[in-house]
Amino acid sequence: MNLYRKIYYPGLIMSALTIQACSHHVSKPLQKIHIDTYKNVKVISVDSASPVRFARHQQPCDCRPTHTSKINAEQYYVTRSNKPLRVIIEIDSVRQTIYISPRSNYGRFLNLKYVFRKRDSLNTCAYKRWIYPRKNFIAISNTGISATPFAPVKPGTVRMTISPGVQIFNVKTDSGRRVSAGIVGAEMGADYFYASNKFLSFTIGAATDVIPLPIDYFGAGYIERSSVIYTSVRNNIMTAHFDIGYGLSLSRLYWTAIPHGDSLLPERRIRTTGLGLSLSAHYQLKRNLRFGIIYQPSLLNISQTNAFSYQDCIGIHATWSFGGRRRK
C-alpha cells in the first residue's frame, strides 16, 4: 500500500504535465487546415470572417498558404473564430463561395494551464472555444457544393476490409442463457459503392470467448465456451465522419460445456443456426480506418423446431479498408 501511494501521486502529476505539454497547440489563435479539391476546382482565397490582432501575435489574422506536393491540395493558417470561414473557389472559370463552419474545441480542457485562467473568459481569448475541421475536401454533387472531411468515394469502387475486435455473446444454453465476451475475433469482407457515400458490405466473420492463455482449473465441473460464425450483407449510408448500416445476417452459434476434474461428466453442447438482422454504426477516423459497433440479433432459428429464438452477438472493432479499385 505504501508503494502504491508513492507511485500513484507522482504518476498522476506526471500525467497531467504530459497532457498539458501535448495539448499546447490548442491554445494558439492560428491553426493549420488542409483543403483538397478535384482537379477542375481551384481555391482562389481563404480568409477570416473577422480579422483580429492578438497581443501575443502582432500580425493580421489572415490565411497563409504553404507549399504542398499534392496536386490541388493546399495548407492554410487561419484564425480560430466562431464564425464560418469563407472560401472562394473557381470551377471552370466560374467563381463561387462556400463556408467552413467551426465546431467546439473540447481539446482546450486538456490544457490545465488555460482552463483555470480568468483571461479565457475575455473576448481576446474566446478563440480557444472554437476550431475549424483540420481536413476539408470541397465536394461537388447534384445537390450543390460542400466541404466534407473526406473525398467522396466514386460509384463502382470496391474495397476489401478486415476488422479485428471484441465480441460479446448472448447465447442459448441447456439451462437458460449465457452472456460472455471474448477478444479473439475477426471479420473480413468487401464494400461495393453503388452511389456516392452509399455502399453495400458483404462480410464473413468468426469469434470466440476462449482465452488464448494456459489456465488451470481445480475441482470437478464444467468449462463453458461460446463461439459464432456468421455472414452478413448490409446497406450503408455515409455522412461526414459517420456511417450507418442495416441488413441481414446468417449466424451459426455454438455453446459447449466441457467437463473437467471428473471423467464421468458428459459434454453438453447446443448448436443453432439463426437468421436475423445486422446493424452497424462506425466513426471514420481516417480515410481507411473506422471504429464502430455491429449488433447482430438472431431471431429465426432454422436448425431446431422452436422457430423463434432470440440470441445475439455484439462486436466492437476497428475496420481497415484497402484496395479501392473501381470496376469498369
CA gap 283, 276 in Å, rounded: 24
CA gap 157, 197 in Å, rounded: 11
CA gap 204, 206 in Å, rounded: 7
- For 41, half-sphere exposure in the C-beta direction (CA atoms, 13 angstrom radius) is 22
254: closest CA among 171, 164, 165, 166? 171
- Give, for 73, the enclosing helix (H) or strand (E): strand 73-79
Distance spanning both ends of the chain, measured CA to CA: 67
C-alpha cell at 299: 431471431
Q: What is the pLDDT of residues 233-269, one digit of tens each?
A: 999 999 888 999 999 999 999 999 988 888 788 889 9
In the chain, % helix, strand, coil (3-state, to 5) comes to: 15, 60, 30
Work out whether the CA dihedral 152, 156, 162, 168 comes out positive or negative: positive
Specify whether the CB–CB gap between 254 and 233 falls below 8 A: no
Sorted by where each begins, the domain ranges of the chain are: 27-148, 157-326
Tell me the CATH architecture of domain 157-326. Answer: Beta Barrel (2.40)
Q: What is the pLDDT of residues 128-166, one digit of tens each?
A: 778 888 888 888 777 778 888 888 888 999 999 999 999
Q: Considering the entire predicted model, what is its pTM?
A: 0.74
**Based on the number of CB atoms within 10 Å of its own CB, is 46 exposed (0-12), middle (13-18) or buried (19 or more)?**
buried
296: closest CA among 286, 311, 308? 311
Work out whether the CA dihedral 281, 283, 288, 293 comes out positive or negative: negative
Residues of the chain with pLDDT > 70, as a percent, come to 75
C-alpha cell at 265: 461428466
CA gap 79, 30 in Å, rounded: 5
Q: What is the pLDDT of residues 84-109, one digit of tens each?
A: 888 888 888 888 888 888 887 766 65
Residue 37 has pLDDT above 70, yes or no: yes
CA gap 125, 264 in Å, rounded: 75
Interval 35-64 mean pLDDT:
58
Helical H runs in the chain?
A: 2-22, 112-115
Residue 26 has pLDDT above 80, yes or no: no
